[in-house]
């Protein structure tokens, strides 16, 4: 059984959802009970562990087909965050590399791999935090978008990991959190996480960001990422691109914090990153209340792509990468 905190009802309710099958996990990812690129990836890994447990025979060919089908169900949940595909690949490798072993042994190995992934994720985020906090100055006021925190990972967070590390290092920092329409990850999750940690946070609506950059309040921007192409283009929550343009216009550093598992060097540029389109209800409604006229045409892309020219640096667990990203991202993963 996989127990997930239900992110759809935070911060008002702290409720847990129990997943007993691979389909339960796929549904939880689709419904954004669990969200955020690394959290989606690790949840999918456990989804495959549950999928493996559902298989009752010891026929290895049948087992492999069963797991491939489960992997396909999970792949179909959300298209943008590459961590999902990365985690599934890593789990399938365990199955394929051990197909000469008894099915029950492979099931144990899959559980081990998912546990390793979960533990590694926290360590990776702490490393991102250590590298990233060196870029943060005492007195910085940091704008962040969406939620790239403990909730979006197994723990500690990527963008919020950097903020947490700077705070732990004794730097006097504060955070501006964009509410992040339409799903309100900033208002509901980031504001809550930072308040729980006692890190000063001010909540703003997305359209206030330019105002606070122009008047000198914001001194740095840090966001997470769902997929980073080989040239450094970054897919992240819708609205990230606007922030990056505003940051450049106002001479404010724009940092992206993400694990190496978010890199997709098979894509030359961000142009090829699939962008998820979500239900129009997320736009027409706020907190379950309809705010738009019936029959209005709606668009709801969940992510956008920030061209690499706007990205000051990418903070990973292996170090901080600066332009030119084409060369430097390749060098990073060869380290
Ligand atoms: O739609 P979501 O809430 O899954 O989108 C999340 C983001 O865009 C995050 O910034 C990203 O996944 C990084 S989380 C460490």
Assess whether 53 and 83 both reside in one domain.
yes
Assess whether 120 and 40 both reside in one domain.
yes
Q: Looking at residue 286, which CATH number applies to its domain?
A: 3.40.50.10470
How does pLDDT run across 249-265, given as a tens digit for each residue? 999 999 999 999 999 99
Assess whether 117 and 138 both reside in one domain.
no
Structure tokens at 308: 């690499």
**CA-closest residue to ligand 1 atom 15:** 148
Query: Alpha-carbon distance 233 to 306, whole Å?
Result: 6
- Quick check: 203 and 230 in contact, CB under 8 A? no
Domain boundaries, position 30: 2-126
**pLDDT-based confidence at residue 204 (cuts at 50, 70, 90):** very high
- Exactly one of 121, 140, 178, 226 is catalytic; which is it? 226
Ligand 1 centroid to residue 58 C-alpha, Å: 38
pLDDT at res. 62: 98
- Quick check: 259 and 152 in contact, CB under 8 A? no
Mean pLDDT of 308-326: 98
pLDDT at res. 152: 98
CA 225 from centroid of its chain's CA atoms: 6
* % of residues, the chain, pLDDT over 70: 100
How does pLDDT run across 79-105, given as a tens digit for each residue? 999 999 999 999 999 999 999 999 999
Q: How far is CA 259 from CA 57, 264, 280, 319, 334, in A?
A: 37, 11, 31, 10, 15
- Quick check: 165 and 320 in contact, CB under 8 A? no
The pLDDT of residue 335 is above 80 = no
The pLDDT of residue 215 is above 80 = yes
Query: Alpha-carbon distance 229 to 127, whole Å?
Result: 22
Q: Ligand 1 pocket, 226 CB below 6 A?
A: yes
Ligand 1 centroid to residue 149 C-alpha, Å: 9
Q: Ligand 1 pocket, 305 CB below 6 A?
A: no
**pLDDT-based confidence at residue 107 (cuts at 50, 70, 90):** very high
- Quick check: 145 and 178 in contact, CB under 8 A? yes
Provide the 3-class DSSP secondary structure of residue 333.
helix
Query: Alpha-carbon distance 230 to 77, whole Å?
Result: 24
Domain count, the chain: 2
* % of residues, the chain, pLDDT over 90: 99
Mean pLDDT of 235-259: 98
pLDDT at res. 52: 98
Q: Ligand 1 pocket, 125 CB below 6 A?
A: no
Q: Ligand 1 pocket, 227 CB below 6 A?
A: no
Q: Ligand 1 pocket, 259 CB below 6 A?
A: no
Mean pLDDT of 187-215: 98
**CA terminus-to-terminus distance, the chain:** 37
**pLDDT-based confidence at residue 155 (cuts at 50, 70, 90):** very high
Ligand 1 centroid to residue 224 C-alpha, Å: 7
Assess whether 183 and 241 both reside in one domain.
yes
Structure tokens at 133: 């906090």
Assess whether 198 and 122 both reside in one domain.
no
Mean pLDDT of 274-300: 97
Last residue of a domain, one of 107, 126, 145: 126
pLDDT at res. 160: 98
Q: What is the mean pLDDT of the chain?
A: 98
Pairing of strands 227-229, 263-264: parallel
Rg from Cα positions in the chain: 20
Assess whether 182 and 43 both reside in one domain.
no
- Quick check: 263 and 204 in contact, CB under 8 A? no
CA contacts within 13 A on the Cβ side of 38? 31
pLDDT at res. 257: 98
Structure tokens at 82: 């590459």
- Answer yes or no: 226 catalytic: yes
Q: How far is CA 126 from CA 15, 87, 173, 317, 323, in A?
A: 26, 20, 18, 8, 23
Other CB atoms within 10 Å distance of the CB of residue 98:
15
How does pLDDT run across 117-137, given as a tens digit for each residue? 999 999 999 999 999 999 999
Residue 312: which residues within 8 A CB-CB, separation 6 or more?
Answer: 253, 254, 255, 322
How does pLDDT run across 9-63, given as a tens digit for each residue? 999 999 999 999 999 999 999 999 999 999 999 999 999 999 999 999 999 999 9
Assess whether 208 and 312 both reside in one domain.
yes
């Amino acid at each position: 059984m996989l127990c997930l905190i239900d992110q759809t009802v935070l911060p008002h309710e702290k409720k847990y959802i129990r997943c007993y099958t691979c389909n339960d996990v796929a549904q939880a990812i689709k419904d954004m009970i669990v969200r955020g690129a690394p959290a989606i990836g690790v949840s999918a890994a456990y989804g495959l562990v549950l999928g493996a447990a559902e298989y009752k025979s010891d026929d290895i060919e049948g087992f492999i087909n069963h797991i491939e089908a489960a992997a396909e169900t999970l792949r179909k949940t959300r298209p943008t965050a590459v961590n999902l595909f990365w985690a599934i690949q890593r789990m399938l490798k365990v199955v394929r590399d051990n197909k000469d072993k008894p099915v029950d042994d492979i099931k144990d190995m899959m559980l081990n791999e998912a546990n390793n992934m979960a533990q590694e994720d926290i360590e990776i985020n702490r490393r991102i935090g250590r590298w990233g906090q060196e870029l943060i100055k005492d007195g910085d006021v940091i704008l962040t978008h969406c939620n790239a925190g403990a909730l979006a990972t197994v723990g500690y967070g990527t963008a919020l990991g950097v903020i947490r590390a700077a705070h732990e290092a004794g730097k006097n920092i504060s955070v501006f959190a964009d509410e992040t329409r339409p799903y309100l990850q900033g208002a509901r999750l980031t504001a809550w996480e930072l308040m729980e940690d006692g890190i000063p946070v001010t909540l703003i609506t997305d359209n206030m960001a330019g105002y606070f950059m122009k008047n000198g309040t914001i001194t740095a921007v840090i966001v997470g990422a769902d997929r980073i192409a080989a040239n450094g283009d970054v897919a992240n929550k819708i609205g990230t691109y606007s922030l990056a343009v505003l940051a450049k216009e106002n001479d404010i550093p724009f940092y992206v914090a993400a694990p190496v598992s978010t890199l997709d060097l098979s894509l030359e540029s961000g142009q090829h990153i699939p962008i998820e389109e979500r239900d129009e209800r997320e736009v027409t409604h706020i907190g379950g209340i309809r705010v738009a006229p019936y029959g209005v045409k709606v668009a709801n892309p969940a992510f956008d792509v920030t061209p690499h020219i706007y990205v000051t640096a990418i903070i990973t667990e292996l170090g901080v990468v600066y332009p030119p990203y084409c060369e430097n991202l390749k060098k990073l993963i060869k380290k």
